[in-house]
């Protein structure tokens, strides 16, 4: 899993949790989904991702994606 995949997994999970909590607890939980969405847009535009820094500090081990064409050639 790459760091990008880990971030997508984290963002998707937080949005699903937010939607579930908004249905069963209260509508204010939708603000969590809005926060995650704004972070994703900000990250796409600026290249700065706070979640990436947090995951790295937590020691999340991420494997690099291997380019299959390079692996076949070399």
Q: One digit per residue, pLDDT tens: the chain, 74 residues? A: 788 888 999 999 999 999 999 999 999 999 999 999 999 999 999 999 999 888 888 887 767 666 555 556 65
Q: Is residue 52 part of a domain?
A: yes
Note the pLDDT of residue 60: 78
CA 68: distance to chain centroid?
A: 24
Q: Residue 55 domain-assigned?
A: yes
In a domain, 46, yes or no: yes
Please check whether residue 47 lies inside any domain of the structure. yes
pTM of the model: 0.77
Let me know if residue 26 belongs to a domain.
yes
In a domain, 73, yes or no: no
Q: Is residue 74 part of a domain?
A: no
C-alpha dist (Å) from residue 6 to 18, 35, 43, 49: 18, 18, 14, 12
Q: If we measure between CA atoms, which residue out of 31, 37, 44, 29 comes closest to residue 11? A: 37
CA–CA dist 25, 44 (Å, integer): 31
Number of domains present in the structure of the chain = 1
**Domain assignment of residue 34, given as a range:** 3-68
Count of C-beta atoms within a 10 Å radius of residue 18: 19
């Amino acid at each position: 899993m790459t760091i990008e995949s880990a971030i997508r997994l984290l963002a998707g999970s937080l949005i699903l949790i937010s939607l579930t909590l908004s249905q069963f607890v209260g509508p204010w939980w939708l603000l969590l989904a809005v926060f995650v969405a704004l972070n994703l847009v900000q990250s796409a535009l600026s290249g700065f991702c706070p979640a990436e820094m947090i995951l790295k500090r937590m020691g999340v081990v991420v494997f690099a994606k291997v380019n299959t064409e390079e692996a076949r050639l070399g």
